[in-house]
Amino acid sequence: MSDLAVRAAPARPNFNGLWVAPPLIALGLTFLYPLFLIARAALVGDAGEIDVGGFLSVLHSRAFLNALINTGLIALAATAGCLALGVTLALILAFVPFPGSTFVARLIDTFIALPTFLVTLAFTFLYGSAGMLNGALTQSFSLSEPPVHFLYSAWGVILAEVTVYTPFVLRPLLAAFSLVDQSQIEVAGLLGAKPWRIVRNVILPAALPAAIAGGSLCLLLTVNEFGIVLFIGAKGVITLPLLIYDKAIQESDYQAACAIAMVNIALSLGLFSLYRFAARRLGG
C-alpha cells in the first residue's frame, strides 16, 4: 500500500499492483463466494446434478410472480413520488429560498442516515387504525369505525418509501440547480416569462441528468427495500426481499429462497448499471 504513488524505475519489476490483493480477497470471501453459493443452491440439486426445473418451478409459482409484480409496481410508484416531491422541494429551496431553507435542506439530508423503518413506525401513530388521523376523523364525524386504511396496503409502503428516499433525489437536484445561471432566470423573468415557463424551458432541461441519476438510484433502493415492508406487515404486500426472508427463515426452504434471490440480485444489478450510466452522463 505504501509504494502507491511512486513511479517505479523502468528497470525494476513492479509489484505495486499486488497491494490490491488483500481487499480483493476479503471481497471475494465475504461477498462473491456467498453469491456463487446462492447461484449453486438455486441451480444444483441435492445429488449434484443441474436442476433447472426446480429453479423454473419456483419462478412460475404464484407467490413469486405476485412478489415480482408488487416489487415492480411499488418501486415505480415510489420513484415517481420521490421525483415529484424532490423536484418540487428542490425548486423551492433553490429558487424561492426562505429564511432557514439551508437548515431545512440539511434536516432532510439527515434522513439518509436514519433507519428506513422509523418512518413506518411513525406512520402507525399518524395513519394507523388507532392513529392521529383516524382519531381526529372518528371524533369529529362521530364514526364507529376508523375510516382510513391505506397504511396496511401497498400505498402505505409507497408513501413511506417516498419519505425515506426523496432525499436521494433532492441532493443531486440541488447540486444541479446550483449550477443554473441565475441571470438567465432573471432575464427570462424580465422578458415576461411566467415562472412555470421558466421552470419548464430553462431549469428542468438543465436538471434532467440529475433527475435521471437520482430517480434510478431511488428505483434501485426501493426494489431492495426490506425494513419498511417488514414493519408494515400487511398480508397482501409481499415484495421480493420479504419473500426471500419468508422462504429462508420462516419455511427453511433455502433452494426457493436462493432462486428468488438470484432474480432479485439480477434486477438490482441491472438497475445499478442504469444508475452508473446515468451518473456518468451526469458527470461528463
Partner 1 sequence: MLVWSRSGRFIVWLLAALLIGIIFIAPLAVILAASLAQQWNGVFPTGFTLEHYASAAGGASGDAVFASLVTGLVASLLALLCGSWAALALRAQGEAWSRTLGLLFFIPSAVPSVSVGLGLLVAFSQRPLLLNGTTAIVILAHFVLISAFSFGNVSAGLARLSPDYEEVASSLGARPTYRLVKVTLPLIAPYLIAAFGLSFALSMGELGATVMVYPPGWVTLPVAIFGLTDRGDIFSGAALTMILVAATLALLIGLERLPLGAVGRRA
Residue with smaller CB distance to partner 1, 236 or 283: 283
Residue with smaller CB distance to partner 1, 149 or 230: 230
Name the residue among 114, 102, 220, 123 with its Cα closest to residue 170: 102
* Contact predicate 159/123, CB 8 Å: yes
Closest separation in Å from C-beta 96 to partner 1: 5
Closest separation in Å from C-beta 226 to partner 1: 4
**Residues whose CB is less than 8 angstroms from the CB of residue 276 and which lie 6 or more positions away in sequence, other chains included:** none
Residue with smaller CB distance to partner 1, 42 or 210: 42
Closest separation in Å from C-beta 23 to partner 1: 4
Residue with smaller CB distance to partner 1, 24 or 73: 24
Grid coordinates belonging to 59: 419462478
Q: Which DSSP letter does residue 248 get? A: I
* Contact predicate 94/172, CB 8 Å: no
Residue with smaller CB distance to partner 1, 91 or 176: 91
Residue with smaller CB distance to partner 1, 154 or 244: 244
Grid coordinates belonging to 70: 408488487
* Contact predicate 237/157, CB 8 Å: yes
Closest separation in Å from C-beta 112 to partner 1: 8
DSSP 183-226: HHHHHHHHTT--HHHHIIIIIHHHHHHHHHHHHHHHHHHHHH--
Closest separation in Å from C-beta 157 to partner 1: 15
Name the residue among 72, 112, 93 with its Cα closest to residue 264: 72
* Contact predicate 123/87, CB 8 Å: no
Closest separation in Å from C-beta 47 to partner 1: 17
d(CA 278, CA 284): 10
Closest separation in Å from C-beta 162 to partner 1: 8
**Residues whose CB is less than 8 angstroms from the CB of residue 190 and which lie 6 or more positions away in sequence, other chains included:** none
Closest separation in Å from C-beta 167 to partner 1: 9
At 44 the three-state DSSP class reads strand
d(CA 117, CA 157): 10
